[in-house]
Amino acid sequence: MAPLVSDSEIRSPTVGRWIPRVGLGTLLRPGRLVGHLLRAGRRLEIRIPKGLVGYALSVAAPGSWVEYGAVLVATHRLPVDRGLRATDEPTLADGLVAVRAPTDGSIFLCPEPEAEPFVEEGSEVKARDTLALIDVMKTFAPVRSPVAGVVERIVVTDGASVASGATLIWVRTATESDEVKPGPDRRCRTMGRSVVRR
């Protein structure tokens, strides 16, 4: 079923229970399945329409009941004339680079419980700096920045499960005019509870 598209939002074409198939930071291209609407025992596919290419900024909660016209996915829209192909590197037109999960696992933004996070929004980073750790069966591997720049947005939360290829962090590539702004407080998990680090 074709969704309603309003600027950079994909909206529900009917009522039903929403089952998403994309997460935050997912690269969206025409024809991609973004989820299903369950209605009257039927599963209706919701796919990206022609002319929309971008990244998922927000996704409606899994299992939530949605009304006609409700926002299912909000996107950071990219210019269609960019010629984005399936093999393209996830670089946005305005200088943002998506840092993706190298494998399935749990993402940790801090080196250890109760420690300061590796980076915050607004942090300056160099190419190959560690931005987070990914845990696969108690083996931790660093997630490194592919470019020098400034952390624009951290998409994931500390301890979240992520799929291989999911966008974790957006880094704005460095320019001489970049000004670093202090980032917001980040929460790091510690033995089942969250600790705010300032």
Number of C-beta neighbours around residue 90 at 10 A: 17
CB 39 within 8 A of CB 65: no
DSSP H or E segment with residue 115: none
Instruction: Spell out the domains of the chain, with CATH numbers in brackets.
Output: 4-79 (2.40.50.100), 96-180 (2.40.50.100)
Helix (H, G, I), strand (E, B) or coil at 65: strand
In this predicted model, what pLDDT tens digit does every residue of 57-115 receive, in sequence order? 788 888 999 999 898 988 876 554 433 333 344 445 467 888 888 888 899 999 888 88
Distance between CA 154 and CA 104 in Å, rounded? 18
pTM, rounded to two decimals: 0.49
Nearest to 158 by CA among 197, 124, 103: 197
In this predicted model, what pLDDT tens digit does every residue of 138-170 receive, in sequence order? 888 899 988 889 998 888 888 888 887 888 898
